[in-house]
A = this chain, B = another copy of it.
Amino acid sequence: MDSIAFDRQYPLNDLISDIKAGNRRALSKAISMAESSLDIDRKATEDVLEALLPYTGSAKRIGITGSPGVGKSTFIESFGLACIEQGEKVAVLAIDPSSQSHGGSILGDKVRMPLLARSEHAYIRPSPSRLTLGGVSNATREALLLCEAAGFTTIIIETVGVGQSEVEVRSITDAFLLLMLPNAGDEVQGIKRGIMELADMMFINKADGQLLPLAEIAKGQVQSALTLMHSPTDGWDVPVIMGSGLEQQGIQELLGICNAFFDDSASHHQALLDRRSKQAEEWFEVALHRELLHWAEHQTSWNVEKQAFLHDIHQKHIVPSMAARKLIGKLFSN
């Protein structure tokens, strides 16, 4: 499925300086390399990242989730344009675990956020999330750094809310925004407590017209549910905002809250710094497991031994957990 993204006609030094200059074609090329599992691409990605590392880390990393039908695309378009109006450059990385097979749909993203896609201050990219060992794909973390190096100051990581992906997106972002429908009780019950506890801010979308009274009720219910929960960010009270992505209501209010959240002088700022450190350590752990396995799989007789043990497992001569211990002992005892 993989094809080589690295292009010999496009020297890495040029690619690196093009990314630093904010060239979106260069950025896309580098993200494609980061998404590839081919050795040549991995190597090139690491060289690029090494050169660009000093230029990363300063963006606001915002995760956004919500049930299907909550109006995520329209909301992100409104919110993204509002960010641009206040001078930001906005990158949107969309993680869709269900698009694994067909590898995302760039065209789809351009259609669903037409104004944002046309802005020269925005960059939209679906991130085919291979659900790898340990959760969020390495590629998404690397794409985020590449966007930062390319000068994007707000990176939105969007996920369709299907189970595990919210936790993954939370694990690579500073702020996490949960979009909700003005469905009062049903919606509040439908969203798992575990997901609500991840959110730094809640936005009740579609709170316009006939739905406004329902949104008011929902807001009250969410606020009372929040009194029973811990904020994911020490020192930050989780706000609940009503609005409409379509009617561009509540967007400015939310933007103000976002700016407050990222205020360097706020008392909770240390919590954001701690979160970044912890995220870097988690990434390192996951990468270590992956690289270790990759190394082991390339050892002589790994496959032969594995097949032999598998045979014994299927013959019910050995329990898988014990087979694993014996295989590792046999190959790597020292």
Contact = CB atoms under 8 A, between A and B. Distances in A.
Interface string A276-298: 01001101100111111111100
A43 to B, nearest CB: 9
Interface stretch (A83-91, A122-130, A134-142, A262-270): A134-142
**This chain: copies in complex:** 2
Contact of A321 (B142, B189, B190, B317): B142
A107 interface: no
A292 B291 contact: no
Given A280-B313, A316-B54, A319-B49, A332 B295 contact: yes
A65 to B, nearest CB: 13
Given A49-B322, A141-B321, A319-B49, A328 B283 contact: no
A14 interface: no
B133 A289 contact: yes
Size band of the interface chain A makes with B = 35 or more
Given A46-B325, A190-B190, A293 B287 contact: no
Interface string A41-76: 000001001100110110000000000000000000
Given A280-B320, A316-B54, A325 B287 contact: yes
A327 interface: yes
Contact of A322 (B50, B313, B314): B50
Interface string A127-168: 000000110001001100100000000000000001110000
A318 interface: yes
B323 A284 contact: yes
Contacts of A280: 313-314, 320
Nearest to A328: B291
Contact of A310 (B284, B295, B309): B284
A256 interface: no
A284 B309 contact: yes
Contacts of A209: none
Contact of A293 (B284, B289, B323, B327): B289
Contact of A53 (B142, B314, B319): B319
A194 interface: yes
A100 to B, nearest CB: 13
Nearest to A142: B321
A320 B284 contact: yes
A2 interface: no
A192 interface: yes
A120 interface: no
Interface of A: 46, 49-50, 53-54, 56-57, 133-134, 138, 141-142, 145, 162-164, 186, 189-190, 192, 194, 277, 280-281, 283-284, 287-296, 306, 309-310, 313-314, 316-325, 327-328, 332
6 contacts: A138-B321, A281-B320, A284-B309, A284-B320, A287-B321, A288-B324
In the A-B complex, the 3 residue pairs with the smallest Cβ-Cβ separation, listed nearest first, are A287-B324, A284-B320, A283-B320
Given A50-B322, A288-B327, 10 more contacts: A53-B316, A53-B317, A56-B316, A57-B316, A141-B321, A287-B323, A288-B324, A290-B324, A292-B293, A292-B328
